[in-house]
Structures are given as C-alpha cells and as structure tokens.
Structure 1
C-alpha cells in the first residue's frame, strides 16, 4: 500500500464546498455544523440545520478563520474548530469548561473534530490537532486548550461521542491534563513555549 499524504490548512470561503463534503448530510456534524459552542443554547435550538450551516459559512469569512481543514491524498477528510475561548459562548456556560480562578482568561480552544468515516484511523485527527496548534500559534496564541474525552476510562464511547477529541490524542500532541471536571472529561493545556518547541521539532 502506498504511503498516504495528509495536509492541513486554514479554512477559506472558497473551500466551503469541501467543508460541506466533510460534514456530510447525515449524523451529528450535519445537524450541528460546529455551532453548539458558538451560540447560546436557546439560539442554537431556534436555528434550522440550514441556518446553522450558513452560520458556519459566514464565520469562515472572518479573520482569523474558525478552523482548519484536512486533506487525505488530495480529498477533504476532516475539520477541527479552533478559536479563542471568548468566541465560544457555549464554553463559558458549560460546567465542564467554564473558567475557574486559576485559568487563563482567554486561551485558544480546540473544541471539535469531524473526520469522514472513510478517513478514520488513518491519522487525520492527529494531523488536524497539529494544524490547529500551528494555526493558533501563528495568530499569537499564548495558551491552547482542549476538552477531550478519556477513552481509557470508557472505551465504549462512540465516534459521535468523541467529537471533542480524546485524551490520548491531545497527550500525543504535548498537551497536559490540568484538571478533570468529570469522570471521562479532561481539561488539557499546551503552553505557547511548548507549542513553539513542538513546531520546531
């Protein structure tokens, strides 16, 4: 089998059709369009699926972009959302991710992963996380956070339940656990200096 090639880049308005391919037409990604953390709970429920889709499309035109897109052998394969914490109202309202007194006020946050079913278990999620870290550092991030699930605690978690990413995925990227707000969830953090060393390596 020939070696596969995975590349990651910041999403752009002209890549919208590729984003649509990644999110698909069925399942949780196609219903949420990565808007759960971007809106209040009431506003999220008010919007139709098409309106959520258009909300993401409009945000892709912002600077910085709201995420990165992965390509596997030239085909769109995955998406990761990454922006400053302050751009995610849903993070502030969640008992899992709300700020504590010792937390940095506005880290960058990697909140969501979408990988096409036919591209799973091929390194796409790891490449997306690396690309998200690179993107955040390039835009001045001093701290980057993730809020993954721990599949070592609960191996039965479905692919849909792993959309935050997994603890092992973030550990492999150099993130450390700073606390556990629940049995299966962790707050993980990468300092910019650590990220810079990782990029250089």
Structure 2
C-alpha cells in the first residue's frame, strides 16, 4: 500500500518524456507558452490600462487617498511589466529553438510576477473587503494556462503562499478571517496544483502517443 502511495506521489513530481522525443517536446511546450504569454500580457495591458484610467477619473480630486493610491500603484506596475514581458517574448518568439532555456526562465518569472501581484492585491483587499478571490483566480488560471512541470508549479505556488501567509497578519486583524483565508487559499492551492499536474501529465502522454503512432506508420 505504501509503495503504491509512493509511486503515485512520485508520478506527480517526476514526469519525463522519452529521451528521443525530449528536445521536440520542450520546443513544442515553449511554442505554446510563448503564444499564451503574449496573449496574457496583452490582456493585462488592456485591463490595467482601463483600471488606471478608472482610478484617475475616480480619484482625481484626491489621488493619494489610501488605499486607492496603492491599488493605482499596483495597476501601473503590472501595466509596465506586461509591456516589457510582451516585448521580450515577441523577440524570443522569433527564434524559439535557440531561446529554449531563456523562454522557460522568463516564462516562470512572468508567472511568479503575476501570482505575487495577485497576492499583493489580495492583501490590499483585506483593508476593504476581506476577500482573497484575486489570489484564488490567479492560482486556478496558472494551473490552466501555461505548461510547467509539476515541481516547477509547486515551487511557484509554495513561494507565493509563503508570502501570502507571512504578510496577511499585517493587513487582516480578525483571527477568524485569517484562519479562513489560510485554509481556503491552501485548499485551492492544492486543487490548482493537482489540475496543473493532470494537464501536464496528460499532455506528455498525448505527445508520446502521437509520436509513437507516427513512428509505427513509418
């Protein structure tokens, strides 16, 4: 029984592609992630641009009103960062085979930025609403959009959760709400990670299946 449990856990962390297909698999995943990062960056540029305009109109009489000024700062930060990442990925996308490692590293950094940004927004929300929906949506979205190995996603999620838990008491004074936020965020983190694992493993299996069938036809 323990052996089966160990094998199950191992299968979630260690997902490998057959050696003869590894290079092509990495190239395919990078192509997918480059396209999705571009779309994501463009989406956030538009969204944050709209939010910045709304903030300027809403708070034109008192732009430095708290916590609105912090939200505005976060919008500007992500707006600028999204433009920079879009430009970088447009350049990297022109020669994906030669930029494999760089694409993976910068893709992970962009994912971390988005998740940490959402952690920041969730913390600011404690000053007004006490909700963490932005953080939860970010976890699910990261599980559903890019393709990263299970271990990579776990490390990204874990680092964000450490920040979330460490800074939450400075923004939320209610012990009951703190406890609920910790439990709910951890539960959704696990669910999101499992979703990401299933997607990645399924994609690996489908990729190898197609390659094996192609080899047999030849």
Query: Structure 1 length normalisation: TM-score?
Result: 0.34
Which is helix-richer, 1 or 2? Answer: 2
The higher-RCO structure (CA 8 Å, 6+ apart) is 2
Query: Structure 2 length normalisation: TM-score?
Result: 0.32
